[in-house]
Amino acid sequence: MASYLRSWFTSVPAAPPVPNIEEHEPESDDDADTITIKADDDDYDDTPPAFPALNSAQRAATSFPSQSNGPPRILSDKAAVLMPPPPVPVLARRIPGVPATTSSSLSIPLTPNTLTLPTSTTKRVKASKKVQLAPGHGALDWANLKNSGKDLRGVDTLMRIPPSVLKRHNKRDDIWMALYGKVYNVTAYMPYHPGGEKELMRVAGRDGTKLFAATHGWVNAEFMLDNCMVGFMVPEPEPDSD
Ligand code: HEM
């Protein structure tokens, strides 16, 4: 057994010999076919080529004598001859809130009223007085009802209506009002009014033009209520003097 093991160990082949690498200086640089790889990085010349090339026509044509051969000159404060800055416009020099004192004909007259800065950037928003309308009573619903062909006037013909007659129609279920000289039966419109029925009742049976214009002059009541019109406002007739 021991002899077997001995013979097994002694028959293991020996490791291959490590080659010994040595650096050699090239014998001669004159040989053009030989490319020599130098071991030391310090021997490389990393300077970039001159651009434009030193012997280029571009460089020869330059008008700066100091630049003829070297790299471009960097402008220093001393060497640079710069244009003076443009004059500052009069308006740019104004102080907000202070009227301009200049008498220049081109300056805009500044008054504290027009140019004072707002003291706050918060926009004051007037609280809306719109009411929650019942379902099915929006602007479109009213437009549909108005154009449905249903009689919303309650009268056969347009009439001449004096204030005394208008005054008789001042109840929730029979409400007329005058707007810009025309009289409307707004009974059907009541539940559709975004400002609520209470607001309309304030002008029930009287001329509501002033209040209407003060609240929402932009609303086109003439169009919205065209099928509710019952007549025109006229002055009260003179009592018979018999
Ligand atoms: C019968 C004629 C009238 C029509 C057709 C009418 C129509 C309207 C409409 C379309 C709006 C909504 C406005 C919007 O969206 O900004 C509105 C809102 C309002 N209306 Fe009238 N209106 C009438 C008469 C009046 C009158 C006579 C008053 C006052 C007495 C009044 C008081 C208001 C108010 C307070 C609002 C809410 C405004 C808000 O805070 O946004 N309306 N109305």
121 CA to centre of ligand 1 in angstroms: 29
How close is the Cα of 200 to the center of ligand 1, in Å?
A: 8
Residue 218's pLDDT is what? 96
Q: Which residue has the higher pLDDT, 206 or 32?
A: 206
Cα(51)–Cα(215) distance, rounded to whole angstroms?
A: 78
With a pLDDT cut of 90, the percent of the chain lying above it is 45
CA nearest to 183, candidates 211, 219, 221, 151: 221
Give me the domain span that covers residue 218: 151-233
Alpha carbon nearest to ligand 1 atom 30, residue: 199
Whether residue 39 has pLDDT greater than 70: no
Token couple for 14: 């020996």
Residue 179 within a domain: yes
Atom of ligand 1 nearest to the CA of 225: 5
Nearest CA residue ID for atom 12, ligand 1: 194
Half-sphere exposure of 77 (CA within 13 A, CB side): 0
- Residue at 217 is within a domain: yes
Q: Is residue 33 part of a domain?
A: no
Among 75-79, 96-100, 147-151, 228-232, the range scoring the smallest mean pLDDT is: 75-79
- Report the distance separating Cα 109 and Cα 99, nearest Å: 8
Q: 231 CB contacts (<8 Å, ≥6 apart)?
A: 155, 158, 159, 160, 161, 182, 183
Q: How confident is the model at residue 22 (pLDDT cuts 50, 70, 90)?
A: low
ipTM of model: 0.90
Q: How confident is the prediction for the chain on average, in pLDDT?
A: 80
| pLDDT tens-digit map of 51-89 | 777 777 777 776 555 555 666 666 665 656 678 888 888
Whether the CB of 228 sits within 6 Å of ligand 1:
no
Q: Is residue 156 part of a domain?
A: yes
Q: Given this model, what pLDDT does residue 92 score?
A: 74
Query: Residue 163: inside a domain, yes or no?
Result: yes
Residue 225: inside a domain: yes
143 touches ligand 1 (CB under 6 Å): no
We report the CATH number of the domain holding residue 191 as 3.10.120.10
Mutational test site, ligand 1, from 125, 140, 152, 219, max ligand atoms within 8 Å of CB: 219
Q: Which atom of ligand 1 is nearest to the CA of 199?
A: 30
Domain total in the chain: 1
Task: Choose the residue to mutate in 166, 215, 225 for probing ligand 1, maximizing ligand atoms within 8 Å of C-beta.
Answer: 215
Ligand 1, atom 3, residue with closest C-alpha: 221
pLDDT at 103: 54
**CA-nearest residue, atom 27 of ligand 1:** 212
- Flag whether 135 is in a domain: no
Question: Do the domain assignments include residue 207?
Answer: yes
Report CA(211)–ligand 1 centroid distance (Å).
9
